[in-house]
A = this chain, B = another copy of it.
Amino acid sequence: MGSPIYRSSTTAPVNIAVIKYWGKRDPTLNLPTNSSLSVTLSQSDLRTHTTASASPSYPSEKGDTLLLNGSPQDVTGARTQACFRELRALRATLESKDSSLPKLSTFPLRIVSENNFPTAAGLASSAAGFAALVRAIADLYELPASPTELSRIARQGSGSACRSLFGGYVGWEQGSATDGSDSVAFEVAPASHWPTMRAVILVVSAAKKDVSSTSGMQTTVATSSLFSARANETVPRRMQEMQRAIKEKDFEAFGKVTMVDSNSFHATCLDTWPPIFYLNDVSRAAIKVVEAINKRAGKIVAAYTFDAGPNAVIYYEAENEKEVAGLFKGVLGDKDGWQGERGSAVQENKEAEASAREEVGGAIELLKEGVSRVILTGVGEGPVKTEESLIDGEGNVVKA
């Protein structure tokens, strides 16, 4: 009989910030210069599935391994190592208190991960990736750690990953401790509080990112003369406004703060030296179309936000699906992404399209040319433990 193979599997969600994280006060610990807030997106549409396993039979000379979408990943980077080290230390503490526990902390880790969305889409996959990695290892190690505690660890892997430990509406407190102990995620409201939040993501075909967010944000901190006003004055005020908007399910306030904060973040990128541009003409066309939708509605029913790339994420409430997603189905119905359950349910709205064409015809054409696919999703839950394992009982990768 071989050595035991210990395994645990989880899925974890993507989150898209409505108040953006940009700038680190400590680049090693990923401690941010400002708090941020995001919506966790449904795992039916976007998720990372990760199995963590440990075994005395795994060859120690190979060390810890990680396979992502079939490709071996380098785990020697400081960020991944920080997560492994913190989780192992917590496990070792348990083992030292209960000698009957198997010494998992001493075994190599074998981790297998898969995304259910194209990595090339330029979505924030590292957040889901590190959240799943940390959650899966924590489950494997049977750590009694809360999502808040795990968020502190996941943050060291990728800042925004800390927010993917929770479902619904999630804040990340910047904290003030130099060791980062108080820089953790917290639940603003569960998905069930405001379950009608939807999002349509317009994936914009673009050459690869000019500037990675890791190096970009530090250049902003070092060179933008407007950045400190954003970090120290604007964001703290908006964090309060946004939490109130979510608690009261006030979409107009939610949408307005979401849009101005995205613009403010990209403004500080433009104010960076050399300037960083993530928005392109297609992104701006999406903004114009959202403005036309809101003008037609006479109030804010759609809200755009852009991460460090040209893709538009457009939030709306289910009751306005026809006015928002319906318009995009009219314009972009021939693109990939409408086949699923959510996409099929959207009613194409040719009337809204015609109305937007009158307002911003050029923008509609630019979207048709520049959007390569759409993703329909909505607010969702945090990480979920699953029995579906990507590693079999022999420690081998399960073939898809």
Residues on A facing B (Cβ under 8 Å):
207, 225-226, 228-230, 233-234, 256, 259-260, 263-264, 266-268, 270-275, 277, 280-281, 284, 287, 291, 362
Task: Tell me if B277 and A291 are in contact (CB < 8 A).
Answer: no
Task: Tell me if B268 and A226 are in contact (CB < 8 A).
Answer: yes
Task: Tell me if A264 and B274 are in contact (CB < 8 A).
Answer: no
Query: How far apart are the CA atoms of A362 and B280 in the complex, in Å?
Result: 13
Query: How far apart are the CA atoms of A273 and B267 in the complex, in Å?
Result: 12
Q: How many copies does the complex hold?
A: 2
Task: Tell me if A228 and B225 are in contact (CB < 8 A).
Answer: no
Nearest CB in chain B: distance from A202 CB, A: 17
Query: How far apart are the CA atoms of A230 and B227 in the complex, in Å?
Result: 10
Task: Tell me if B273 and A225 are in contact (CB < 8 A).
Answer: no
Given B234, B256, B266, B274, which contacts A270 in the complex, CB threshold below 8 Å?
A: B266
Nearest CB in chain B: distance from A357 CB, A: 15
Nearest B residue to A287 via CB reads: B275
Given B207, B226, B233, B277, which contacts A230 in the complex, CB threshold below 8 Å?
A: B226
Interface of A is mostly: helix
A-B contacts besides A226-B271, A256-B273, 7 pairs, CB < 8 Å: A226-B226, A226-B234, A226-B268, A228-B229, A229-B229, A270-B270, A280-B284
- With contacts A225-B229, A268-B226, A280-B281 taken as known, whether A291 is within 8 angstroms of B274 at the C-beta atoms is yes
Query: How far apart are the CA atoms of A207 and B267 in the complex, in Å?
Result: 23
Nearest B residue to A280 via CB reads: B281
Task: Tell me if A207 and B362 are in contact (CB < 8 A).
Answer: yes
Nearest B residue to A276 via CB reads: B263
Residues in B neighbouring A256, C-beta threshold 8 A: 273
Query: How far apart are the CA atoms of A271 and B260 in the complex, in Å?
Result: 7
7 sample A-B contacts, Cβ–Cβ < 8 Å, listed by A number:
A225-B264, A226-B234, A229-B229, A266-B270, A267-B268, A267-B270, A280-B281
Residues in B neighbouring A275, C-beta threshold 8 A: 263, 287
Given B228, B271, B277, which contacts A264 in the complex, CB threshold below 8 Å?
A: B271
